[in-house]
A = this chain, B = another copy of it.
Amino acid sequence: MPATNRQLILHSRPKGLLAPGDLQLTETPLPELQDGQALARVKYLSIDPTMRVWMAADTYLPAVAIGEVMRAGGFAEIVESRHPDYKKGDRVTGLTGLQDYVIVDSSAKHFFQKVPKIPFVSDTVFLGVLGMNGVTAFFGMEIAQPKKGETLVVSAAAGATGSIAGQIGKIRGCRVVGIAGTDEKCNWLTKDLRFDAAINYKHPDWKEKLAAATPNGIDIDFENVGGEIMQEVLNRMNLHGRVVVCGLISGYTKENVGMASLGTILVKRLRVEGFIILDYAPRFMEAATQLGQWKMFGKIKDRETIVEGLEKAPDAINMLFTGGNIGKLIVKV
């Protein structure tokens, strides 16, 4: 058993992007394993925009306390066990936190669950398509109630969740238009993921291009971003459109995550619905089963951006807000 554990501790709440020192790398002794505990080596960490929310304030989960290990989803392998349900070599996902090792026990707070080894599939699939991003896209699209022939717009479309949501839209028979921040991302969406169009919002004429790509207006907004991009999408929404508020990334590094025009909601009879994926935990298996089939049959493709080294996790978090990743962003510990 290893003697020490490297951990990224929340030292100060960031203003804007993470500054050096907001998360501090520390080395702490590993406590002796108690009965009912197992020790797991964290192998991959899921880097998600919501982590920035956890660093800032109590929301759908309590904020990470100053001095605590930074919360994060991860994939880990049991290296030693005094827990009857886990043996060495078992593989788990859950809220491992940004650290080398995590104590696994029976408490529910870390959402640990065992996952199988799937032949020919990377273990990181349990953080992406079969993890939080996949189920988030799945249930978000359930809320959207897509109908064949409708137009779906996805923001942050080249991100881990957006890219899956758009592909579910294609499976459901929608015209799917993605919004992303580089031409490379847009090419990935249209060439590999078969989006009908993709708009680089950093081009000066992106609003005209969005209009050209949505000639029949927009029926569904799978919203990951908020702010000016969302407002332009709302401007093009059709009557009785649905706005699924999955995330508001553009606001997470600001004081305020932004507002939606009530006049637009009223006059266009929109349904604007926020959701938090943890509410769907009892149905995760249902979603993962479907997502696994789609992935196996090539109907959902994914892509990863892998950053090596626990110490690089703070930089990786910032990449989410500066547009540095394509697809699922992972730190390999």
A66 at the interface (CB under 8 A from B): no
Structural contact, B269 and A272, CB atoms closer than 8 A: no
- Give min CB distance, A276 to chain B, whole Å: 6
In the bound complex, CA of A248 to CA of B263 (Å):
8
Interface 1/0s, chain A 64-101, versus B by CB < 8 A? 00000000000000000000000000000000000000
Stretch from A106-114, A159-167, A253-261, A297-305 forming part of the interface with B: A253-261
**Given the contacts A259-B259, A259-B260, A261-B259, A276 and B271 also touching, CB distance less than 8 Å:** no
In the bound complex, CA of A230 to CA of B248 (Å):
21
A295 at the interface (CB under 8 A from B): no
- Give min CB distance, A53 to chain B, whole Å: 9
In the bound complex, CA of A275 to CA of B268 (Å):
8
- In chain A, positions 28-84 with a C-beta closer than 8 Å to chain B are 59-60
A181 at the interface (CB under 8 A from B): no
Structural contact, B272 and A60, CB atoms closer than 8 A: no
In the bound complex, CA of A240 to CA of B274 (Å):
9
Chain B residues near A248 (CB, 8 Å)?
A: 262-263, 266
Partner of A272, one of B226, B230, B271: B271
Interface 1/0s, chain A 146-189, versus B by CB < 8 A? 00000000000000000000000000000000000000000000
Jot down 8 A-B pairs with beta carbons below 8 A, ordered by A: A240-B279, A248-B263, A258-B261, A259-B262, A265-B272, A265-B273, A269-B279, A271-B271
